[in-house]
Structure 1
Amino acid sequence: MKGLAGGLLLGLLPALAPAATPPPFNICHGYGCRHQTEIRLTAAEWSSVRGLFRRPPVDAAAERSRIAAAVALLESLAGRRSGTSADRACNSAGSWVRGQQDCIDESTNTATYLHLLDDSGLLRWHRSVGRVRRNPWLFDIHWTAVIGERGSGQRYAVDSWYGANGELPLVAPLELWRRKAASVTPACPAPERGGR
């Protein structure tokens, strides 16, 4: 009996071990998710992401910092394959610049990264919630990915649109993000002139 139970446990170990790589995922680009590129991370790349969480964060605030670093790293890794590595902050480069992403692309991709982290068991203090939009005026609609703190239920915007590819995303309480509070909303660079 002891040998059978031990054999069953050994047989389960590979299923319990963390995956060497996450499943393939799609990255949006081209404004409004017009284009998608399938991304397959290597074992070394995924190990670098997992390494950010190797030592468990001591609290939710520390985990939000790690989440920001992981989103920046995943965005950088995906950018090399999707042609978005030159993506600039906000919409400053304009839609005619190849690889530039709008908030729909950015929020969709960031939500994907957050799901990867959550589904892989890397998040202890938060869960991936999806995306939300704000529209303080009819012409100023903006999207972000969202995480929810498991203990308090507090929600946070994780908004990579405010930075260039691979830069740390804005992570701020969702209610402040919705109000475009000056304390959490960075200024965007002036748009470039140009076109097709």
Structure 2
Amino acid sequence: MLRYRTPFITLFLALSACSSPYAEHPIKPIRSSQSLNDIWDNDYRFFIGHPTPDRFSVCHSMSCYKISEASINKQDWQNILTLFANNDSAEDERHAVQQAIASLEFLVGIQISSQHDLARNQIASNRYGQMDCVDEATNTSVYLRMLENAGVLTWHTTASRMSRGIFQGQAPHNTATMIDTQTQIRYAVDSWFYENGKAPVIINLDKWMSGWEPEQQ
């Protein structure tokens, strides 16, 4: 995928390397190798690492060029949680996750003017409000963390973001992930392929890492 910035330092965080569960670690934007220390300290230090529905951070405008604070009101949040009320299997829960993230993208988009975010890296007029895979992977991780903290993920646990392409001769690409607690299968939860408010792809991470694209279904 095309990027506005030079290649970034990716977050390869193996679960076995963590001294505590992923859900206890603060979420941070993926840091660009081009970012100077003062830019990082001044802009990214305000990113909310432990998000809650009434106060969380999101990235936008390509590679976390902008960070905005957002919130979800109690009624909208309850409507999202209701999506998980009758999930009898991990597959049902993954479908609910897709619906929840689509709803959260829509609600957040109105607040931060990213409601017209196009699929992939298409840009209608300028990059403001448009999201690349760094933004999408970060924001989806935030949404997953909030769902996990709400106790509605009974079949899955959240996991760190993953990257592909750097060592496979492909364009670099990032995704949020989660793990099926019954099978231990790790899934990519990728919102980048579609426009704002559309359900993200949830696919076996190994398949995603191989370079999978939606057209290959």
TM-score, normalised by the number of residues in structure 2:
0.71
Structure 1 gaps, min length 5: 1-20, 188-196
* Alignment partner of 1:33 is 2:33: no
Question: How far, CA to CA, are the matches of 2:101 and 2:187 in structure 1?
Answer: 14
Question: Which residue of the other structure, out of 54, 59, 67, is the alignment partner of 2:89?
Answer: 59
Instruction: Determine the C-alpha separation between the residues in 2 that align with 1:94 and 1:77.
Output: 21
Contact 1:95 1:101 in 2 (8 A): no
Instruction: State the Cα distance separating 1:153 from its structure 2 match.
Output: 0.9
Pairing partner for 2:140 from 105, 110, 119: 110
Q: Based on CA coordinates, which of the two structures has the bigger radius of gyration? A: 1
Alpha-carbon offset, residue 40 of structure 1: 1.4
Matched, 1:92 2:122: yes
Following TM superposition, the consecutive aligned residue runs of length 4 or more in structure 1 with deviations greater than 3 angstroms are: 136-139
What is the CA distance between 1:137 and its match in structure 2? 4.4
Aligned with 2:161 (options 125, 131, 146): 131
- Deviation per CA, 1:155-174, whole angstroms, max 9, x where unpaired? 00000000100001011000
CA offset digits 1:9-30 (Å, max 9, x no partner)? xxxxxxxxxxxx7341001001
Percentage of identical aligned residues: 35
**Cα distance 1:118–1:95, how it changes in 2: closer, same or farther (>3 A)?**
farther
Pick from 48, 71, 77 the counterpart of residue 101 of structure 2.
71
The alpha carbon displacement at 1:138 in A equals 5.1
Q: In the aligned structure 2, how far is the partner of 1:89 from the partner of 1:36?
A: 20
How far residue 112 of structure 1 moved from its aligned partner, in angstroms, is 0.4
RMSD: 1.6
Of residues 140-149 and 130-139 in structure 1, the stretch that sits farther from structure 2 once superposed is 130-139
Q: Name the structure 1 match of 2:9.
A: none
Q: Which residue identity is paired with 1:44?
A: Q
Which residue of 2 is the match for residue 186 of structure 1?
214
- Following superposition, the deviation at residue 95 of structure 1 comes to 8.3
What is the aligned length?
163
> Residue type of the partner of 1:166?
G
Q: Does 1:150 align with 2:181?
A: yes
1:46 and 2:74 are equivalent in the alignment: no
Aligned residue for 1:145, secondary structure, equals strand
Match of 1:22 in 2: 53
Deviates more, 1:114-123 or 1:94-103: 94-103
